[in-house]
Structures are given as structure tokens and as C-alpha cells.
Amino acid sequence: MALSPEYIVSSLQQLYGDQVTSGDIRAWCAMNGNNYQTVTKKLENYKISRGKWDLNTTEQLEHTYNQPAAMPAVEQNLIPEKDDTFVSFGCHNDIKKILRSRVFYPTFITGLSGNGKTLSVEQACASLNRELIRVNITIETDEDDLIGGFRLVNGETVWHNGPVVEALERGAVLLLDEIDLASNKILCLQSILEGKGVFLKKIGKFVHPKNGFNVIATANTKGKGSEDGRFIGTNVLNEAFLERFCVTFEQSYPTAANEEKLLRLHSASVGRYDDKFIKHLVDWADIIRKTFYDGGIDEVISTRRLVHIIRAYGIFDDKMKAIEICLNRFDDETKQAFMDLYDKVDGDVQFDLTATGEKFPREI
């Protein structure tokens, strides 16, 4: 049976007391037939200096917790910067009302990729001068990543707050991005989503939420998985976990007017403005989305992808190249269909696929 640190500590205390030396440990290893390096590795959290260990658990935890954090968040500015290209749409104003109220009200935002869910929350915090802590959730995210744990700093093991505890203590907004990628380890947030704070069992401390603390989660699904396979890796989240979010906003892509306004701002930021090109892009994306919603195609042009095209145009000063290289992420059939459609929206366009030398539009 593997040796546990608790057993080693208890046995050493019975023989030598709370304060032990390397000589004591070597003698204990000789008596019990254990490896010195293995034993001392299990006692890392109790080491106070070279060749000396303090086995008093209470004092050790207090000493560890009172050490400075590995990265004191208090020294950081956690208020997002205002984005001059941001355009308010969708649930943005509702999010602002929730955050402005400073009422604890966990909120879930769902919608297709690239429609501004995360940016909307960031800019709501920026306009309200609220601190935001964003956590990108993956299947590997666990309690240590979220709540915190022990870290080795300058040769000493110290407690380091996770982003959730930092947000609780600062009264900040906690943004759980792509939460539908999480495993059941996300359930460590149950009490936090009830507004009750969290007990840090590793150091015996309870953290109460400061006024203004809130939780917002974003996801491409509603926590029920992705049956069509569009969002690989998304999981079915625990029903009790989802039930703790008070409201769910369904964010759609912006209206044509808002999307045009957004693209104009991005065009101005890259110094390459063409209003006719912007209108064609918005009309093109709108047709593709309607076809997607009707089940005619399996891919969609997001607002984010339109921004990519505008910025590529600003870099290369070539509209057709900007569209083509930003469509390369799709398979060949989808890419060609999208380019053919753009040809119909903008009759002046002519694509040049350098790989084949073939010109578009071509006769269909």
C-alpha cells in the first residue's frame, strides 16, 4: 500500500514530535524500509528550511496561506478597455442592467459562434467601470484551476487564489467562457452560483462574496450538447448546475444595420473604407444565414468572419483576396459555393484561385 503523507506525519510525530530533521527522517526510513527521497517528497508542504520539517498541520497551513500569492491580483487592473469598434446589440443592454444593479444574478448567454457574446460582456464591464475576470473553460478545467491551490514560489509552497476566489473577494464579474466544454468538475461552483461563497477546504477558510460579485456564462449550446456535430467537445451539463442560472439570453447575429455600422468602424480602424463593399458583405452574410437557418447549408458566415475580411482588406488592399483567404477555413465545396454567391451579390467581383488559375465568376 502506498504511503500517504498523513501516515508519515503521524508516525514521525509519535517518535520525534512536530519538529524533525533529515536525520530523524533517515532513521525512520531505515526502521520502516522506505526510500528517503520518496518520503521527503511527500513532506514538501511541511518543509521549513534545508533539512528541517514542521509537522504541525495547523501552523503549517496558516504559514502557507499567509505567504504572498504567486501573482497578487490586487496589483492588476481588471477593468476591460473600451473597444471603439464595438456596437451594442442583442442582450448587451440587458447585461448592463444586471451588472449596474449589483444584484447577484447568474446569467447564461447562448448563441452561434462569432456573434459577440463574450465581447458584449467585456464592453458592458468596460462602460460600467467594473472588474472582469474571464476564465476560458475546457474539458480539463478542474477545481484547482477555478478555486485555487498550492503553488511553489521561491522554494516555498504557498496558497494561490484561483480566478473564482479572486472574483468573490473583489466583487468582480466572473465570466465563464465556453462553459459547455466543461466536465462534471465544474460542479465545484454549485454553492457559488447560489451566492453563498465557497469554503476553501485545503486551508480551512470561508470566502464570502463581496457586493457586486456576479457570474456570467457564455456557450454555443444550452448545455445539452451538440447533436449536429457543429460544436465538437461540448458536453451535456448537469441539470442542477444549469438550473442555478437565473436567466438565459439567446444571442443572434446583429441586424444588417448594426452589422454595417460595426464593419464601418473596423474599416476606419484599418484605414481602408469602402461602403459599397461593406454593404455587399452584409447582404451576402445575411443570405447565407437565412439558408443555414432553413437547413439548406451546414456552415454560416459569422460577424467575426466579416470583421476578419474587412481587416484582411485593410492589410492586403485586395477585396477578392481578403474574401478568399478568409473562406479558406471551409471545405472546398462550401468555399466555392460561398464565392459563387458573393459573385451574385456583387456583379463586379472576379475571383482568381491561384492554385488552379481558374477565374470566377464562371458560367454555371
Looking at 3.30.1490.20, 3.40.190.170, 3.40.50.300, 2.120.10.10, the CATH number of the domain 73-250 comes to 3.40.50.300
What pLDDT shows up at residue 322? 95
Answering whether pTM is above 0.85, one says: no
Write down the domain spans for the chain: 5-55, 73-250, 256-360
- Tens-digit pLDDT profile for residues 156-206: 888 899 999 999 999 999 999 999 999 999 999 999 999 999 999 888 899
The owner of cell 449589483 is 102
**Mean model confidence pLDDT for the chain:** 87
In sequence order, the 6+-apart residues with CB closer than 8 A to the CB of 95 are 107, 109, 120, 121, 124, 216, 249
Tens-digit pLDDT profile for residues 3-27: 788 888 888 888 888 888 888 888 8
Find, among 131, 198, 137, 212, the residue nearest to 165 by Cα. Answer: 198
Question: Higher confidence at residue 235 or residue 113?
Answer: 113
Measured from the Cβ of residue 270, the count of other Cβ atoms closer than 10 Å reads 14
